[in-house]
Amino acid sequence: MKLFYTPGACSLSPHIVLRELDLPFELEAVDLRTKTTASGVDFTTINPKGYVPALQLDDGEVLTEGAAIVQYLADKHAPGTLAPAAGTVERARFNGHLNFISAELHKAFGPLFNPTLAPEAREAASANVGRKLDVVDKALSDGRPYLAGEGFTVADAYLFVVLSWTAHFGVDLARWPHLDAFRQRVVARTAVQAAMAAEGLSKAA
């Protein structure tokens, strides 16, 4: 398999999952501005959407969308381990977390990546991020170490990656103590540290 990624982007989530599963894979960086891979290939010929992640399987099939990729990896290579079994209430709850991270929390960060965003708009976007973080912090307020309970899942990998963006935008996680503790718990995982090191990222995320 080959994972097309950009350092620190949401592609870090499937990167972590690949290492959690101890699967053999290659990495190829993508310059999202030029839509060119490290080997000089036009990335849009691999993923017409033009953004990471994209996972090329051994048979040449290409999967896109991070939430879909991590579920495929979990179900294919470790059923019931990094995601609850399909068809269970636990899986439905897990999907609720994964969808919220993707459609609400991740999306809320989008405007903040625009360097030309007006100060008032940036303030409004930051407030929106805060409201989404309130929801996830509450989900962890019952003492559970991870979103689905005691075990680490692919939803936790995705949440960790999105939380890693907060420092870049001056969002202090101290306001959300359960999320701050969660981030510290996840960053200590061997697979997470290995993925971050491979992407040239600080382990302090």
Instruction: Read off the pLDDT of residues 82-101 as tens digits, 9 standing for 90 and up.
Output: 999 999 999 999 999 999 99
94/184 same-domain check: yes
What is the per-residue burial (b if ≥16 Cβ within 10 Å, else e) of 96-129?
ebbebbbeebbebbeebeeeeeeeeebeebbebb
Residue 71 forms beta bridges with which residues? none
The reply to whether 178 falls in a domain is yes
Residues 182 and 159: their CA atoms lie apart, in Å, by 9
50/120 same-domain check: no
108/39 same-domain check: no
pLDDT tier, 202 (very low <50, low <70, confident <90, very high otherwise) = confident
96/173 same-domain check: yes
171/99 same-domain check: yes
Structure tokens at 128: 């929106």
Q: How many domains does the chain have?
A: 2
The pLDDT of residue 205: 43
Establish whether the linkage from the previous residue to 53 is cis, with ω within 30° of 0.
Answer: yes
103/177 same-domain check: yes
Domain of 23, in residue numbers: 2-80+192-198
- Inform me whether the pLDDT recorded for 204 exceeds 60: no
The reply to whether 67 falls in a domain is yes
pLDDT in tens, 132-154: 999 999 999 999 999 999 999 99
Residues 74 and 176: their CA atoms lie apart, in Å, by 29
Cβ within 8 Å of residue 87, ≥6 positions away:
none
The reply to whether 204 falls in a domain is no
pTM score: 0.96
The reply to whether 9 falls in a domain is yes
72/26 same-domain check: yes
The pLDDT of residue 188: 97
50/73 same-domain check: yes
CATH of the domain at 110: 1.20.1050.10
CATH of the domain at 49: 3.40.30.10
106/56 same-domain check: no
